[in-house]
Structure 1
Amino acid sequence: MVKLPDDLDPELYARIVDTGGGELTVKMGVEYLELSAEHSVARMPVEGNRQVVGILHGGAHVVLGESLGSISSAIHAGPGRIAMGIEINATHSRSISEGWVTATCDALVLGRTLATHEIVIRDDEGRRLSTVRMTNILRDRQG
């Protein structure tokens, strides 16, 4: 069971539960372990997410990172507001061909209109595989 903050917006909570955290991440086998604005953790299997040469696809790293950064920013935005990604970058440091990866997302900036997170993705031995940085703009929900 994923650990969620006590003061989580009920509408966002329902969306996380109803979608499993998002259609793409469900397809990729992402498991959310902890979600908050300041610190989030998720893991993902390598199997099913490899590129043609047999290593974890770089895009899979980015999907995992963006998923955590987006949810963390949405939690920070609060009720009646949404988070939309405006910038993301990734540096891949090491490859992996089997097992699981774990992503840890930590807030760098939690402002009124912007939220920036750094997501570090590691293998089962704790070696850094990728570093993803994401910035979301925070806006009032329309309608």
Structure 2
Amino acid sequence: MTDTLPGLGGTLIDRMGIEILHASAERTTGTMPVAGNTQPYGLLHGGASAVLAETLGSVAAMHHAGPDRAAVGIELNVTHHRSARDGLVHGEAVAISLGRTLASYAITITDDDGRRICTGRLTCLVIAEPPA
């Protein structure tokens, strides 16, 4: 589904191996491989979890903004609970608040066994037009 979202090809999303599985303003899901996204100890890099969280929330906010507006992240918070060494991590962004100018999401990231890896919160500003 990543290929069907405008502007996502050739971006960090591609380089991280993120795949968007479902996208709507209310709920967006996706996966990311652990392989290639680790720190030197072989554990999933905390920054990679943050990238997945911001990606899922931003894609959801893009859907909320609609075709004539854009959504840009203005605040991201992540808490790391545990790490992963292999497989995929699975993320879900669920809308907390969908306003005219702000959209906020709670993001949960789990491993292949359903154990929570990371919890995040993203707030996006909805702007009149995409940034140049």
TM range (shorter): over 0.9
- Is 1:54 the counterpart of 2:39? The answer is no
1:15 maps to a residue whose letter is P
Kindly indicate whether residue 34 of structure 2 is the aligned counterpart of residue 36 of structure 1: no
Give the structure 2 partner of residue 114 of structure 1: 102
Match of 1:32, SS state, is: strand
TM-score (norm 2): 0.92
Aligned position for 1:82 = 70
Q: Does 2:119 align with 1:128?
A: no
Separation of aligned partners in 1, 2:15 and 2:72: 21
With normalisation by structure 1, the TM-score equals 0.85
* Paired AA for residue 61 in structure 2: S
Deviation at 1:14, TM superposition (A): 5.6
- For structure 2, the 5+ residue unaligned runs are none
1:15 lines up with 2:2 in the alignment? no
Alpha-carbon distance between aligned partners in 1 of 2:74 and 2:17, rounded to the nearest angstrom: 25
Identical aligned residues as a percent: 47
Q: Which secondary structure state, in structure 1, belongs to the residue aligned with residue 6 of structure 2?
A: helix
Give 4+ residue runs of structure 1 displaced > 6 Å after superposition: none
Partner secondary structure for residue 112 of structure 2: coil
Please give the alpha-carbon distance, in whole angstroms, between the structure 2 residues aligned to 1:137 and 1:108.
14
SS at match of 2:12: helix
CA RMSD of aligned residues (A): 1.7
Deviations 1:28-52 (A, max 9, x none): 1111100000011100110000001
Deviation track 1:61-108 (CA, whole Å, cap 9, x = no partner) reads 000010111111011011211101110000000111111100011000
Are 2:71 and 1:71 equivalent residues in the alignment?
Answer: no
Uncovered stretches (5+) of structure 1, i.e. residues with no partner: 4-12
Residue type at the aligned position of 2:73 = G
